[in-house]
Amino acid sequence: MGWNSVIPITMDTATGVLAAADDEEQAVSTTPTFVQRVTDPALAADIADVAAATFPLACPPDSSPDDIAAYIADNLNADTMRGHILDTDSDVLIARESPDGPPVGYCLVRHGEPADSDVQTVITARPATEVSKMYVLPDHHTQGRPVSPSRALMEAAIDLARTRSAAIVWLGVNQENLRAQRFYTKMGFTRAGVKTFDLNGSVEHDYIMSQALDGHPKA
Ligand SMILES: CC(C)(COP(=O)(O)OP(=O)(O)OC[C@H]1O[C@@H](n2cnc3c(N)ncnc32)[C@H](O)[C@@H]1OP(=O)(O)O)[C@@H](O)C(=O)NCCC(=O)NCCS
């Protein structure tokens, strides 16, 4: 059974709200997920808090704590998040477990030409959309549930790529981050190549993963 058949997600294009509606026939013991495309910059600080709590989980165990802390301070602060929210070529999504609850996860989606030359080499279809960040607080990981913030965020991200008529959606993931790789594989991504990632001056090694979309505008 597909995940969407358990808890349908629909986006109100006027408000950008994606809601996971309860389906009585499929009632299972599960926490609902509400995914919202963020348009209010006032949410930036809350998202930055989630980012700071979760970024270390994506780093290899031998990463320097100082490099991680510096990366968070420089790249995942509230000002940077505010910029992403206001950027017309980016979408920031948050997942909550009640409509007005605190964010338990977030996703940054960036539409347009990839900046990295290694990515440009292997991601050649256009238009392209990047799932640039995908982070969920540990207590809210899927853990066997049929519905989860991570799945809802990725479904919504791909939906947003479709609204831009993307022919491909891609992402980078640390080569040691097996959990995220497994998650992306489950969500339809396959390995396309490799690239590096600058963690405050330390070179990290990523896989590039991608999935083709049909490139047609979403109805
Ligand atoms: C990546 C992330 C969003 C995925 O969400 P999630 O809710 O944990 O995803 P799921 O549980 O649906 O999928 C993870 C899979 O990895 C598996 N897994 C967990 N730890 C693993 C490990 N060490 N090695 C291999 N697989 C692992 C899980 O069992 C699960 O697979 P299964 O459904 O076949 O059992 C979430 O784990 C997260 O936020 N992690 C920290 C930040 C991060 O790494 N972000 C990605 C940056 S690229």
Q: What is the pLDDT of residue 172?
A: 98
Q: Is the pTM of this model over 0.85?
A: yes
**Does residue 79 belong to any structural domain of this protein?**
yes
Q: What is the pLDDT of residue 54?
A: 98
CATH number for the domain harbouring residue 41: 3.40.630.30
Number of domains in the chain: 1
Q: What is the pLDDT of residue 94?
A: 98
Q: What is the pLDDT of residue 214?
A: 85
Q: What is the pLDDT of residue 13?
A: 43
14: CA distance to ligand 1 center in Å?
A: 32
**Does residue 219 belong to any structural domain of this protein?**
no
153 within ligand 1 shell (Cβ under 6 A): no
57 within ligand 1 shell (Cβ under 6 A): yes
**Residue 194 structural domain:** 3-22+30-212
> 108-129 pLDDT, tens per residue?
999 999 999 999 999 999 999 9
Q: What is the pLDDT of residue 17?
A: 54
Q: What is the pLDDT of residue 2?
A: 28
> 154-187 pLDDT, tens per residue?
999 999 999 999 999 999 999 999 999 999 999 9
Which amino acid appears at position 146 of this protein?
P
53 within ligand 1 shell (Cβ under 6 A): no
**Does residue 192 belong to any structural domain of this protein?**
yes
Q: Give the other-Cβ count within 10 Å of 90's Cβ.
A: 17
Q: What is the pLDDT of residue 5?
A: 25
184: CA distance to ligand 1 center in Å?
A: 8
Q: List CB contacts of 99: < 8 A, sequence separation 6 or more.
A: 19, 34
Name the token pair of 44: 């930036």
Q: What is the pLDDT of residue 219?
A: 61
59 within ligand 1 shell (Cβ under 6 A): no
**Does residue 218 belong to any structural domain of this protein?**
no
Residue segments in the chain with a per-residue pLDDT below the cut of 70: 1-30, 218-219
**Does residue 82 belong to any structural domain of this protein?**
yes
217: CA distance to ligand 1 center in Å?
A: 30
On whether the CB atoms of residues 22 and 32 are closer than 8 A, the answer is yes
58 within ligand 1 shell (Cβ under 6 A): yes
**Does residue 8 belong to any structural domain of this protein?**
yes
13: CA distance to ligand 1 center in Å?
A: 29
**Does residue 69 belong to any structural domain of this protein?**
yes
183 within ligand 1 shell (Cβ under 6 A): yes
